[in-house]
Amino acid sequence: MMWLQNFFNFRLVSEYAGVFAEGIWQTLWISAVCLALSLVLGTVLALARMSKNPLLWRPVAGYIQFIRSTPLLVQIYLVYYGLPTIMPSGMLFDEVQSGIIALTLHTSPYMGEIIRAGIGSVARGQIEGALSVGMTPRQTMRYITLPQAIANVMPPLLGQTAVLIKDTSLLSIIAVFELLGAGLLMFSETVVATESYVTVAVCYLGIYAMMLVLSGIVQNRLGGSAWQAN
């Protein structure tokens, strides 16, 4: 076991256990907030994208293409460095708020496209049935189409959530303290690369493993298709 101790100093890592726990907590709550916001915004985008009014769906389609064709890092820079230069002075988002805004703007088109596919997958008879018993189109969407759509696309939604959790690591570049930020802090104080970065990777893999377990449970409940980790 000597080689392992030479390679990896467990005592040093245990001294930083609190820092990493704080990092994991930050990563998880930032991801949760972004997930909630991007599900809401994603649903709005999906409905707007399916509208028949070209004044509505064309800009939304353009926005989706823009987000999909540019790197997340550039989008984060646009929000964090670019936005303050065009905002009225006095209104300034801190790095956590900017990070949440950027990640939400980035994730919601992906969520929206998944939800749109889900809405398309709801059987026609369900909608016709709801309309024929006197539900308004709005009620049909709210009580019949959307719940079934979301259940149908639960596997890709979970996959996209796993991507979102990994994407929060980029926020460390704008000095948000999260899991990778904890590793960077440890590296800057101790200058041991192996312990710092391998610990970060192990923590991310732990979160990923929990996502896999969760998706297994959901898959059993819904009897849907296998989850694909993108």
- Asked if 204 interacts with another protein (CB under 8 A), we say yes
- Angle between helix 54-69 and helix 95-121 axes, rounded to 10 deg: 120
Q: Is the dihedral of CA 197, 181, 108, 59 positive or negative?
A: negative
**d(Cα 187, Cα 168) in Å, to the nearest integer?**
19
Q: Which is nearer to another protein, 37 or 227 (CB)?
A: 227
Closest CA to 157 of 113, 200, 188, 122: 113
Is there a contact between 176 and 30 (Cβ–Cβ < 8 Å)? yes
Residue 201 in the binding site for another protein (CB under 8 A): yes
Residue 68: CA atoms inside 13 Å, Cβ hemisphere, count?
11
Q: Tally the residues of the chain.
A: 230
Contacting residue, 57, 77, 122, 148, with another protein by CB under 8 A: 77
- With CB under 8 A as the contact rule, the residue among 28, 44, 173, 218 that binds another protein is 173
Stretch in the footprint of another protein (CB under 8 A) among 11-19, 49-57, 61-69, 142-150: 61-69
**The one among 17, 36, 73, 213 contacting another protein by CB under 8 A:** 73
Residues that bind another protein (CB under 8 A): 7, 65-66, 68-75, 77-78, 81-83, 85-86, 110, 166-167, 169-170, 172-173, 180, 183, 187, 192-194, 197-198, 200-201, 204-205, 208-209, 228-230
